Amino acid sequence: MDIELITNILFATIRTGTPLILIALGEMVCEKSGVLNLGQEGMVLMGAVLGFIASVVTGHAGFGILAAIFAGMLMSVLFGFLAISLVSNQVATGLALTIFGIGLSAFLGAGYVGMAIDGITAWEIPYLSDIPIIGKILFSHDPLVYLSWGIFGLLFWCFKSTRLGLTIRAVGENPEAANAIGISVMKVRYGAVLFGGAMAGLAGGYLSIAYTPMWSEGMSAGRGWIALALVVFASWKAERILLGAYLFGAASIMHLVLQGLGFEASPNLLAMLPYAATIIVLVVLASDAVKTKLSTPLALGQPYRPQV
Amino acid sequence: MKRIELKEITKRYPGCVANQSVELSVSAGEIHALLGENGAGKSTLMKIIYGVVKPDEGEMLWENQSIEVKGPAHARELGIGMVFQHFSLFETLTVAENIALSLPKAEAKSLDALKKRISDVSKRYGMQLDPNRYVHTLSIGEQQRVEIVRCLLQDVKLLILDEPTSVLTPQEVETLFKTLHQLSDEGCSILFISHKLDEVRALCDNATILRGGKVSGHCIPKDTTTDEIARLMVGDDTPLSEDYKKATGGEPYLTITNLSYKSEDPFATPLKDISFDVKAGEILGIAGVAGNGQEELLNLISGEETTTASCVKFAKKAVANLTPEKRRILGLGFVPEERLGRGAVPDMSLEENALLTGYQGELTNKGWINTTKVKAFAKQIIEQFNVKTAGSLAQAKSLSGGNLQKYIIGREILQNPKLLVCSHPTWGVDIGAAILIRHALIELRDQGAAILVVSEDIDELYAISDRVCAICDGELSPVAPTNEVTINQLGKWMAGDFSPSDTHSDTASAGPLANVGGLS
């Protein structure tokens, strides 16, 4: 393989990993507060379809992205109302949200299948993108890729050294105790769920406006589920989510490249590669049981009912 | 000056009145005891003061101003601090992070400055504390210090402590009392909830006693005898005194030899080379602060975890690799610490719960359940152990803690076990039920069963066990006849100091907690 091929593979790796990072980081915050939202897939699709429609209608990709974020948040408000305010079962509610999102997005987008938009173009960072190889791999992407790095940095810092991060972790570990020291469990959990929704919507917008500027039914192709698994295998750590998502991206690209190079193996086996590689690496990383247990939100999935 | 006054406070829950027209007043710098049995309404009252629960009726005066506490945050602004019985700490955070979360934002800005304040305050009040440690690595006593220091950092005017001593060694209790005296000298009021009367008499200036949600009396603990206070707590019709003969037992039934074990659970305490035996016809008590390996040891005896067969023997038969079911067939009865979930299935009826451990006997025939016999067995337990319930079809979770415990212990005892293992047999059980349970244990012992009791309640261990030892950090102290071990000695064992000492010389100077016996 020559340098150019490797550069292209790494460039594509980052593009492929980005939607996973966005979804998984959102879900990580949500789960850190103790709420398990299995509705990612539905929220991503709703973000994708509404983002695409808004782009078509306004002619601006930027409005499309905003609409996508808004759509994700709208879906998560619905989830929050059921799972937090009405204390419904989080697993069942999340699954319902996914099914609802898949159906509604297909219905709304039916008239837009096959349409083309301009999409978001790459923004080559001046000077940095001129660096040989690295410039092409890291600094010639569309703005949403840079945004995903920004959000990663922000969350990493937030959970490492801010009171907000502590508060979210506290609520996810022991909501009763958090309430007893005066933290509003409801507010924190709603905030986290909304953030998760916004991120999932953004990921949907990235898919339909930047990654492949078009709409097709079920275009998220299970990324919501993969991101959910990624969060768990990454032990709720932002840096491992980043690693896992890029690993998954790289393996996905590799399986295409290997096929293209005429590699002698069943394509079905090769298609397993991304899943197997990601899971193995993250499981090995998480083998220290004590550290993993420390980062696991203990109250995950448990509804919280305030005392009266 | 009155720090806080409660007037005519009433709080109703569906099916019961937790507090009825309760009056309480505490002056500045006063240490006030709130006494009562479980279910008397102490905790509800404290939650009302701390704003966790809203009263249905009544008025609260804070420094002579009528107020309504909107929530815990508001209570803390006023200067009310509370140390819960079940700590409200976050195990995956450090001490400093835990404390930072409960302080106003402005004060918690710099974690380094906060760490220094924590060190200063903990030194000033004689409570050693390292702000950098993770809470899950702290002992229960240390966790309690975190809770107290957390309150002290906020200029506290009223400190509420909910049964603070139930988790401490006697030495830790003395340290705590020194701190509390120092606080009250500085003008801080303290509300001390307990049902250990000796401690209340040693510490408190005044006491209010609750029974069944109502105030049943006031007293000055120093001038009142333990029996008089106990009378106010339990009412007139419960016998109070207990005095059991010690037994020596016969052949060892349970033998544990060189048991070392590390569980897969990363938070479990590894057991280090434990050896002891329990003889048929004796009660062996193991004292110790929770989390020092008791649970791991009991799991290995009950069969919930298995290890090299020869480490645990029932009457010389190696059993440590057997499942709980096989060990039960050999004559094991087991009363775990958690009643709901491990001792009984909350959503199942009492009959079904009776079947859960009794199914090997006559209750089943070739896999078929004999419902008549199950019903009869459940009714027998309910009658013999005076379980207050709506009937044998009531769900286990509908029973109060004490009644369910009577039911579970009854279920095990009526199967005539050769070895009965009880974890915290009377934890959270009121005095009447506790006495009944202890009587039943002694009776079973006299019939020749070997009994192992693990408890944090030292008074109870002194009352019923024939030999006693302590467990600390996975190691077992020497085992000695109960009447040869002073409470100081046992306290040292609980703290991990197993050195042989002046066992006989300091019997007389055993400190304020030494008048054991009579009532726990």
CA A241 remoteness from chain centre: 9
Q: Which of A163, A288, A292 to mutate to test the interface with B (most CBs of B within 10 A)?
A: A163
pLDDT at B339: 84
Helix H or strand E segment including B161: strand B158-162
Q: Which of A33, A162, A166, A174 to mutate to test the interface with B (most CBs of B within 10 A)?
A: A166
Give the HSE-up count for residue A45: Cα atoms under 13 Å, Cβ half-sphere. 26
The answer, yes or no, to whether residue B308 has pLDDT greater than 80, is yes
Does A287 contact B at CB distance below 8 Å? no
pLDDT at B38: 66
How close does chain A come to B156, measured CA to CA in Å? 14
Q: Which residues pair with B332 in a beta bridge?
A: B419
- In whole angstroms, give the CA distance from residue A152 to residue A140: 19
Contact B92 A169 (CB under 8 A): yes
Query: What would you report as the CA-atom Rg of chain B, rounded to the nearest whole angstrom?
Result: 24
Structure tokens at B19: 């507090």
Structure tokens at B96: 């400093």
3-class DSSP state of B348: coil
Does A3 contact B at CB distance below 8 Å? no
* List of residues 6+ apart from B494 with CB closer than 8 A: B169, B170, B287, B288, B289, B470, B472
- In whole angstroms, give the CA distance from residue B277 to residue B283: 11
Contact A181 B267 (CB under 8 A): no
pLDDT digits (tens, 9 = 90+) for A20-50: 999 999 999 999 999 999 999 999 999 999 9
pLDDT digits (tens, 9 = 90+) for A123-181: 888 888 888 888 888 888 999 999 999 999 999 999 988 999 999 999 999 998 888 88
* Chain B partners within 8 Å of A298 (Cβ): 91-92
Contact B53 A307 (CB under 8 A): yes
pLDDT at A263: 77
* Chain B partners within 8 Å of A165 (Cβ): none
How close does chain B come to A170, measured CA to CA in Å? 6
Q: Which of B12, B44, B47, B88 to mutate to test the interface with A (most CBs of A within 10 A)?
A: B88
For residue A170, the chain B residue with the least C-alpha distance is B90
Task: Count up the domains in chain A and report the number.
Answer: 1
Exposed, middle or buried by CB within 10 Å (0-12, 13-18, 19+), for A46? buried
Contact B100 A166 (CB under 8 A): yes
* Chain A partners within 8 Å of B91 (Cβ): 173-174, 298
- Is residue A79 a contact partner of residue A24, using CB atoms and an 8 Å limit? no
Q: DSSP class of residue B107? A: G
Contact B101 A308 (CB under 8 A): no
- In whole angstroms, give the CA distance from residue A172 to residue A296: 9
Reference A244, options A41, A28, A93, A80; nearest CA is A28
pLDDT digits (tens, 9 = 90+) for B155-172: 899 999 988 887 677 888
pLDDT digits (tens, 9 = 90+) for B447-496: 999 999 998 888 889 989 999 999 998 999 999 999 999 888 998 898 88
The mean pLDDT value of chain B amounts to 86
For residue A173, the chain B residue with the least C-alpha distance is B90
How close does chain B come to A83, measured CA to CA in Å? 23
* A302 domain-assigned: no
Q: In what order do the strands lie in the sheet with B16-27?
A: B16-27, B2-13, B57-62, B65-67
pLDDT at B513: 41
Two domains, one topology: B2-234 and B238-331+417-520: yes
* Chain A partners within 8 Å of B111 (Cβ): 161
- Is residue B370 a contact partner of residue B363, using CB atoms and an 8 Å limit? yes
- Is residue B243 a contact partner of residue B517, using CB atoms and an 8 Å limit? yes
* Chain A partners within 8 Å of B105 (Cβ): 163
If you average pLDDT over residues B214-234, what whole number do you get?
86
How close does chain A come to B268, measured CA to CA in Å? 11
Structure tokens at A182: 């005066």
- In whole angstroms, give the CA distance from residue B24 to residue B8: 9
Q: From chain B, which residues contact A within 8 Å (Cβ)? A: 47, 50, 52-54, 71-74, 76, 82, 84, 87-93, 97, 100-102, 105, 108, 111, 134, 136, 264, 266-267
Between β-strands B189-194 and B31-35, what pairing exists: parallel, antiparallel or unpaired?
parallel
Exposed, middle or buried by CB within 10 Å (0-12, 13-18, 19+), for A52? buried
pLDDT band at A93 (very low <50, low <70, confident <90, very high): very high
Exposed, middle or buried by CB within 10 Å (0-12, 13-18, 19+), for B219? buried
Structure tokens at A159: 């959970």
pLDDT at A1: 58
pLDDT at B446: 94
- In whole angstroms, give the CA distance from residue B451 to residue B424: 13
pLDDT digits (tens, 9 = 90+) for B338-386: 888 888 998 899 999 999 888 877 888 888 899 999 999 999 999 999 8
Lowest mean pLDDT among A82-86, A283-287, B308-312, B464-468: A283-287
Q: How many CB atoms are closer than 10 A to CB A129?
A: 17
pLDDT at B154: 83
- Is residue B165 a contact partner of residue B176, using CB atoms and an 8 Å limit? yes
* Chain B partners within 8 Å of A177 (Cβ): 87-90
Q: Which residue has the tokens 């102290």?
A: B477
- In whole angstroms, give the CA distance from residue B288 to residue B454: 8
Structure tokens at A241: 């989510």
pLDDT at B15: 67
3-class DSSP state of A32: helix
Contact B136 A294 (CB under 8 A): yes
Q: Where residue A17 sits, what CATH number does that domain have?
A: 1.10.3470
If you average pLDDT over residues B211-222, what whole number do you get?
88
Structure tokens at B443: 């009776």
pLDDT at B242: 67
Structure tokens at B395: 């769900």
* List of residues 6+ apart from A217 with CB closer than 8 A: A105, A106, A109, A113
Give the HSE-up count for residue B414: Cα atoms under 13 Å, Cβ half-sphere. 25
How close does chain B come to A308, measured CA to CA in Å? 6
Contact A169 B72 (CB under 8 A): no
pLDDT at B239: 62
* List of residues 6+ apart from B66 with CB closer than 8 A: B59, B60
- In whole angstroms, give the CA distance from residue B182 to residue B156: 13
Percent of chain B with pLDDT over 90: 44
Reference B486, options B457, B464, B455, B508; nearest CA is B508
pLDDT band at B335 (very low <50, low <70, confident <90, very high): very high
Give B399 or B190, the one with higher predicted confidence. B190
Contact A174 B102 (CB under 8 A): no
The answer, yes or no, to whether residue A18 has pLDDT greater than 50, is yes
Q: Which of B48, B50, B83, B102 to mutate to test the interface with A (most CBs of A within 10 A)?
A: B102
- A6 vs A11, A243, A250, A254, B442, CA distance in Å? 8, 18, 11, 10, 79
pLDDT at B359: 83
- Is residue B441 a contact partner of residue B452, using CB atoms and an 8 Å limit? no
Between β-strands B467-472 and B283-287, what pairing exists: parallel, antiparallel or unpaired?
parallel
CA B307 remoteness from chain centre: 29
- Is residue B84 a contact partner of residue B151, using CB atoms and an 8 Å limit? no
For residue A297, the chain B residue with the least C-alpha distance is B92
How close does chain B come to A184, measured CA to CA in Å? 10
What is the DSSP code string of B10-51? EEEETTEEEEEEEEEEEETT-EEEEE--TTSSHHHHHHHHTT
How close does chain A come to B14, measured CA to CA in Å? 12
- Is residue A197 a contact partner of residue A79, using CB atoms and an 8 Å limit? yes
* A197 domain-assigned: yes
pLDDT band at A278 (very low <50, low <70, confident <90, very high): confident
Reference B30, options B188, B136, B174, B224; nearest CA is B188
pLDDT band at A16 (very low <50, low <70, confident <90, very high): very high
Between β-strands B332-335 and B419-423, what pairing exists: parallel, antiparallel or unpaired?
parallel
pLDDT at B471: 93
If you average pLDDT over residues A17-21, what whole number do you get?
96
Q: How many CB atoms are closer than 10 A to CB B165?
A: 20
pLDDT digits (tens, 9 = 90+) for A201-248: 999 999 999 999 999 999 998 899 999 999 988 999 999 999 999 999
For residue B86, the chain A residue with the least C-alpha distance is A177
- Is residue B293 a contact partner of residue B473, using CB atoms and an 8 Å limit? yes
Structure tokens at B12: 């109703």
CATH number listed for the domain at residues B238-331+417-520: 3.40.50.300
- Is residue B441 a contact partner of residue B448, using CB atoms and an 8 Å limit? no
Between β-strands B252-261 and B312-314, what pairing exists: parallel, antiparallel or unpaired?
antiparallel
* List of residues 6+ apart from B325 with CB closer than 8 A: B303, B360
- In whole angstroms, give the CA distance from residue B7 to residue A240: 56
Q: Which of B101, B103, B134, B150 to mutate to test the interface with A (most CBs of A within 10 A)?
A: B101
- In whole angstroms, give the CA distance from residue B3 to residue B62: 6
Structure tokens at B355: 């079947």
* Segments forming the whole domain that contains residue A101: 3-295
Listed by number, the residues of chain A in 92-151 with a beta carbon closer than 8 Å to a beta carbon of chain B are none
- In whole angstroms, give the CA distance from residue B71 to residue A217: 49
The answer, yes or no, to whether residue A197 has pLDDT greater than 90, is yes
Helix H or strand E segment including B60: strand B57-62
Give the HSE-up count for residue B366: Cα atoms under 13 Å, Cβ half-sphere. 0
* Chain B partners within 8 Å of A32 (Cβ): none
- Angle formed by the axes of helices A238-260 and A143-161, to 10°? 150
Report phi then psi at B215, rounded to 5.
-70, 120
- Is residue B11 a contact partner of residue B53, using CB atoms and an 8 Å limit? yes
pLDDT at B184: 93
Contact B72 A176 (CB under 8 A): no
Could you say which of B88, B101, B266 has the minimum Cβ distance to residue A293? B266
**Is the four-CA dihedral A253, A258, A262, A263 of positive or negative sign?**
negative
- Is residue B156 a contact partner of residue B188, using CB atoms and an 8 Å limit? yes
Whole-model pTM above 0.80?
A: no
pLDDT at B499: 83
Does A289 contact B at CB distance below 8 Å? yes
The answer, yes or no, to whether residue A56 has pLDDT greater than 90, is yes
Give the HSE-up count for residue A217: Cα atoms under 13 Å, Cβ half-sphere. 8
Q: Where are the domains of chain B?
A: 2-234, 238-331+417-520, 350-415
Q: Which CATH number fits domain B2-234: 3.40.50.300, 3.50.30.30, 3.40.50.1390, 3.50.50.60?
A: 3.40.50.300
Structure tokens at B236: 């007139």
* Chain A partners within 8 Å of B263 (Cβ): none
Does A180 contact B at CB distance below 8 Å? yes
* A200 domain-assigned: yes
* Chain B partners within 8 Å of A179 (Cβ): 52, 72
3-class DSSP state of B419: strand
Exposed, middle or buried by CB within 10 Å (0-12, 13-18, 19+), for A262? exposed
B460, B462, B467, B473 alpha-carbon torsion, rounded to 10°: 70
